[in-house]
Amino acid sequence: MVQQENYDIVIVGAGPVGLLLSLCMSRWGYKVKHIDNRPVPTATGRADGIQPRSTEILRNLGLKRSIMAYEPAKVYDVAFWDPKGDGSGIGRTGSWPSCPRFIDTRYPFTTLVHQGKIERVFLDEIKKAGTTVERPWTIVGFKNNGANADYPVEVNLKCLDTNVIENVRAKYLFSGEGARSFVREQLNIKIHHKDPIAYVWGVMDGVVRTNFPDIETKCTIHSDAGSIMVIPREDNMVRLYVQIASSTDADWNPRKTATVEEVQQTAKNILKPYWIEWDRVEWYSVYPIGQGIAEKYTLDERVFMGGDACHTHSVSTPLEVPVVLKIALTPVKPKAGQGMNTAFHDALNMAWKIHAVESGLANRSILSTYESERKDIAETLLNFDSKYAALFSKRRPSAGEVGSASHTTVGAGGEEDEFVKTFKSSCEFTSGYGVAYQPNIFTWDASHPAKSALFKIPGVHLTPGRAFTPTTVTRLADSNFVELEQEVPANGAFRIFVFAGNQSKTKKAIADLAANLEKERSFLSVYRRSDIADVSFFERHNPHSKLFTLSVIYAGSKNTIDVDSIPQVLRDYHHHLYADDIPDVRVPQAQFAAHEKLGFDVQKGGVVVTRPDSHVACTVQLVEGSGTVDALNEFFNAFSTKPLGQDSQQSRLVTALLPTDTEENPYFYTFRVQCTSCHETHPNWVSFNRFEVHEIPGSRGEANFVWKCRLCTKTHTASITSGPKPYEAQEKQNAQKIIEMDCRGLEFIEFKPDGEWEAKAIDSTTTFSGIDLSEGEWYDYDEKKGEEVSIKEITWTVGR
């Protein structure tokens, strides 16, 4: 029997999502089997737009320079054209930046180059990393049968040239097959389509001659003859999206086709009074617009899908078009330019999470966040794409039809129409910078298991879940001006940026940070490299752990920073020590632009953790003592496979805990009460304090609490006889009495700690007041000791 080959991951499909995932996994040391059913990579057509945030990702992968070598078109503005009021054709009614200035990016443009060239760049780098995309191979079967615990997924592959079958085993199977996904069909995962197909478009790449003035600019054009979108391309080419059918047409057919000549004639009619002629047509297709999303991205967190296998923005099957030219007929991506860009994000999200699990950092349960994060973004994309496509496809009324009172365009002196408003309001999302992951185990908010009071620095302008803001600093090692967000390459590691502020003010906090990083149970020590003794002096990014990279940024010029006084554990990252001394046009008055742009107090500093995909995970205050590292340990401990941080009894407990209870500010003790005669339980919580007394009916006596049972009508009482007594912390955490009560005819069966409490820190004179225990836990920070304090796992008992 031939032994099956084992792989860390089998990737099916060599489009954008499969290629980026393959590149990451191959570079990070995983054994990858990657197949594609096409005999050759994409030659022409398909996706062509790389949005600004995707350009950042490609640069972080080291691919941007190779892509830019193709001299792609760069779109900075989008021009809007509409019918003229005199009926003489179209005229420009306005323009808008494709990436407006309110979006902080180094790349305020869309890069336009056809998908085939982008694929070539990926394929070259994947090969350098030791993986080859095998063609033409397809998947014919798979099952997660548990026959091999280490490689649970059996995958059946077939060579389309020879019909040879190969069976392999893998830890993971990933479908990047596109809209016609075999894996999705086998899993019986349905695609939910948002709306029925309402428009059919022709798309054509070619070299044109024209007197249309904006042919080298992205344009949206509406005329009485239809609509066009113009997309400039590399090598003097232009892409035209031309509307050829609408559901409002009398002869509407969602499968309508058109020849190249028919689409060219439609384009000529739309562009009047300008003329256009084609030197050549390189690629042409017809497709109906439709949006759909998969119900699930995975069923077992072993077999996953991404890209167009999960979310489709155009028809999944190309229409047969009668053309004479040798033209590939394949579906294209949405005119909002998001399909390929969304695929890049899918792949990077998948890659670093698999890496976190397989490297031993994270529990397998975190893989569920791939679907929850990426499906939420896809839903937002499809909602936008559906609205954008419908507005673009919709026939605009001509000026002649609406008369001189028309207010459809700014050019007519009135309001912007809905299409232009939608375009402008959606620029942040379409640029990629609007992607904001919701709170979860990797994205901190108040619901996160990590409860340190040091999370969320007041005034800092970084939102967990959003991409880290671009900042420029000086690298101390070589005095180079560098882009901080690009300094750590996409290597699967979390990035920890220590904004150290004024060195003289934060010296003690930095020393304490370093000392606590070196403790045995810190996240950095627990996940220390196994080969640390052999790590090269020239290792830039991961001298201690392959899972974390530390960077330290001081507020000051290069020559004012005393490198020798920086603790050694931080100096080991010698290529990640920086001076914040480069001006930024977004904060022109700032002396220390990186700190002030992000909202850090230069006298205090702070810490930012970003995920391996450069999205902010959390921010933590930089303080003296162990608190900062305690908070970081707590954050990573939420998903770590190993316990992190101190076993908290010595550093985190408080003592002398008791309710704030004075005659001027009495504490109201809140209980559920039960009658001992008929066992009726009062439906509501009851509260009373020890200073207020009430007369007992039919008696000369008084009590703090008087209750007449509704069922048996007997009157019962309770009074506090002693307390409150402070709860004193002990080595063995045994129950202690807080108050004692004399109960007559009733018993209290449950206590609720409403109101304020107070306590003292162990081994410190710090006192804490206003403690709220209603949520069952409390966290604060002892400034005198420089340590976090907390109260957790409280149990309340009411006994005799």
Q: Give DSSP secondary structure letters for 167-227.
A: EEEEEEEEE---SS-HHHHHTTPPEEESS---EEEEEEEEEEEE--TTTTSEEEEEETTEE
Enter the tokens of residue 222.
Answer: 């509406």
Two tokens, residue 97: 């930046």
Residue 174 lies in a domain: no
* 619 and 487, same domain (yes or no): yes
- Decide if 563 is inside a domain: yes
Helix (H) or strand (E) holding 418: helix 418-425
- pLDDT of 247 over the 90 cut: no
Task: Report if residue 518 sits inside a domain.
Answer: yes
Do 515 and 629 lie in one domain? The reply is yes
776 and 727 in a common domain: yes
Decide if 98 is inside a domain: no
Mean pLDDT of 481-496: 98
Banded model confidence at residue 443, pLDDT cuts 50, 70, 90: very high
CB distance 49 to 231 below 8 Å: yes
Reported as a pLDDT band with limits 50, 70 and 90, residue 314 is very low
DSSP-derived 3-state class of residue 262: helix
Q: Which of 78-82, 247-251, 461-465 has the highest mean pLDDT?
A: 461-465
Residue 345 lies in a domain: no
2 CB contacts (<8 Å, ≥6 apart)? none
Q: In this structure, are 556 and 701 located in the same domain? A: no
* Shared-domain flag, residues 630 and 743: no
The reply to whether 635 and 664 lie within a common domain is no
Bridge partners of residue 726, in order along the sequence: none
| Cut 0.85: pTM above it | no
What's residue 511's pLDDT? 97
Q: Dihedral through CA 566, CA 567, CA 571, CA 576, nearest 10?
A: -70
Q: Are residues 737 and 695 both part of a single domain? A: yes
401 in a domain, yes or no?
A: no
pLDDT at 198: 63
Residue 417 has a pLDDT of 62
Each residue's pLDDT tens digit, 66-82: 999 999 999 999 899 99
Of 624, 645, 666, which closes a domain?
Answer: 645
pLDDT, average across residues 405-415: 40
| pLDDT at position 292 over 50 | yes
The amino acid at residue 14 is A
- Report the Cα 420 to chain-centroid distance in Å: 28
Confirm if 620 and 631 have CB atoms less than 8 A apart.
yes
CA pair distance 373, 380, nearest whole angstrom: 11
Residues 526 and 606 in one domain: yes
Burial of 164 (0-12, 13-18, 19+ CB in 10 A): exposed
Cβ neighbors of 518 (< 8 A, separation 6 or more) are 524, 525, 569
Residue range 184-209, pLDDT digits in tens = 999 999 988 766 666 788 899 999 99
Q: Which of 614, 645, 676 is at the close of a domain?
A: 645
Evaluate whether residue 775 is within a structural domain. yes
Structural domains counted in the chain? 2
User: Residue 145: how many CB atoms within 10 A of its CB?
Assistant: 10
pLDDT at 788 over 90: no
608 and 484, same structural domain? yes
Total number of residues shown for the chain = 800
The residues near 429 (Cβ < 8 Å, ≥ 6 apart) are 380, 381, 384, 435
d(CA 451, CA 445): 9
- Is the domain of 588 the same as that of 727? no
Q: Which CATH number fits the domain that encloses residue 569? A: 3.40.30.20
Largest CA distance in the chain: 109
Structural domain including 785 reads 652-791
Q: Which two tokens stand for residue 624?
A: 């003296």
CA distance 20 to 40: 18
- Residue 68 domain-assigned (yes or no): no
The arithmetic mean of pLDDT across residues 35-63, rounded, is: 89
Q: Which pLDDT value is given to residue 105?
A: 95
Whole-number pLDDT of residue 615? 98
Measured from the Cβ of residue 397, the count of other Cβ atoms closer than 10 Å reads 15
pLDDT at 322: 32
For residue 427, what pLDDT band results from cuts at 50, 70 and 90?
A: confident
Which of 645, 664, 681 is the C-terminal boundary of a domain?
645
What torsion do the CA atoms of 8, 12, 13, 19 make, to the nearest 10 degrees? Answer: -10
Q: Which one-letter DSSP state was computed for residue 704?
A: S
Does 665 lie in the same domain as 641? Answer: no
Record the tokens describing residue 583, joined without a space. Answer: 């001006």
pLDDT in tens, 337-358: 577 899 999 999 999 999 999 9
> Tokens 């309508």 identify what position?
256
The DSSP symbol for 615 reads B
Whether 481 and 618 share a structural domain: yes
Tell me the one-letter amino acid at 588: P
